[in-house]
């Protein structure tokens, strides 16, 4: 199965993705995590990405697409994968469709986690990652609304969009995620491909 998690910062994409990859036994492709790992290597790529991330801006599409393309060519992605925080722009979404088509595959579901702004601010204030300062969160939210939210309509047109209420306990949200993709705990082994 190939699944995308889309949603504003703090919506719970990473939290729910972590649970879903265990259930489906597929790799977790978080572009945010990949970029934070690149920062640790102090490469030129990592330093460039860090500047965008610290400013709450999206990293340029060509850099993101390069790392995603490399990752998707690895064997563990052949049976499926879960995208967390990617795609985030229409060019990224179009490129993902093309990469998957080359592999004779396609997305199965796009899970849109919906959470109100007040709840997002409260969650991120509690977490305190380096890009969780209030001014950076505002910029991340702005990037989401301007560049990423339009993908909701893009995937709706393709009949892939599954809107999910992202508030409540993580267990409650995970129950909605499972319902949205029609997978229960009992069928995890059969549903990975």
Which residue ranges make up the site for Mg ion (CB under 5 A)?
13-14
Measured from each CB, the residue nearest to Mg ion is 14
| Cβ proximity of 76 and 27 under 8 Å | yes
**Least distance in angstroms from the C-beta of 10 to ligand AP5:** 4
Q: Which does 178 bind (CB under 5 to 8 A by kind): ligand AP5, Mg ion, none?
A: none
CB nearer to ligand AP5: pick between 150 and 168: 168
Please state, in angstroms and rounded to a whole number, the distance separating the CA atoms of residues 27 and 83: 9
Instruction: Let me know if 60 is exposed, middle or buried by CB neighbors in 10 A (0-12, 13-18, 19+).
Output: middle
**Least distance in angstroms from the C-beta of 48 to Mg ion:** 20
**Least distance in angstroms from the C-beta of 16 to ligand AP5:** 7
Q: Which residues contact ligand AP5 by CB under 6 A?
A: 7, 9-15, 31-32, 35, 52-53, 56-59, 64, 85-86, 88, 92, 123, 126-127, 140, 168-170, 173
**Least distance in angstroms from the C-beta of 13 to Mg ion:** 5
Q: Which does 15 bind (CB under 5 to 8 A by kind): ligand AP5, Mg ion, none?
A: ligand AP5
Which residue, 76, 103, 88, is CA-closest to 151?
Answer: 88
CB nearer to ligand AP5: pick between 130 and 187: 130
Q: Which residue has the tokens 């809107």?
A: 163
**H or E stretch including 29?**
strand 28-30
CB nearer to ligand AP5: pick between 125 and 193: 125
Which residue, 12, 14, 47, is CA-closest to 28?
Answer: 14
Sheet containing 28-30: order of strands: 28-30, 81-84, 2-6, 109-114, 161-165
């Amino acid at each position: 199965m190939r699944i995308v998690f889309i949603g504003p910062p703090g919506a719970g994409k990473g939290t729910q993705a972590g649970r879903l990859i265990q259930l489906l036994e597929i790799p977790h492709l978080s572009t945010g995590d990949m970029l934070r790992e690149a920062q640790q290597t102090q490469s030129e790529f990592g330093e460039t990405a860090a500047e965008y991330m610290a400013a709450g801006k999206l990293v340029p599409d060509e850099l993101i697409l390069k790392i995603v393309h490399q990752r998707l060519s690895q064997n563990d992605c052949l049976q499926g994968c879960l995208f967390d925080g990617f795609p985030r722009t229409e060019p990224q979404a179009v490129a993902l469709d093309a990469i998957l088509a080359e592999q004779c595959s396609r997305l199965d579901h796009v899970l849109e986690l919906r959470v109100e702004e007040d709840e997002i601010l409260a969650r991120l204030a509690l977490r305190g990652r380096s890009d969780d300062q209030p001014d950076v969160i505002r910029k991340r939210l702005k990037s989401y609304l301007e560049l990423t939210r339009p993908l909701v309509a893009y995937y709706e047109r393709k009949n892939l969009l599954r809107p999910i209420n992202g508030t409540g306990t993580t267990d409650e949200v995970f129950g909605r995620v499972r319902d949205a993709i029609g997978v229960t705990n009992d069928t995890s082994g059969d549903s990975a491909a």
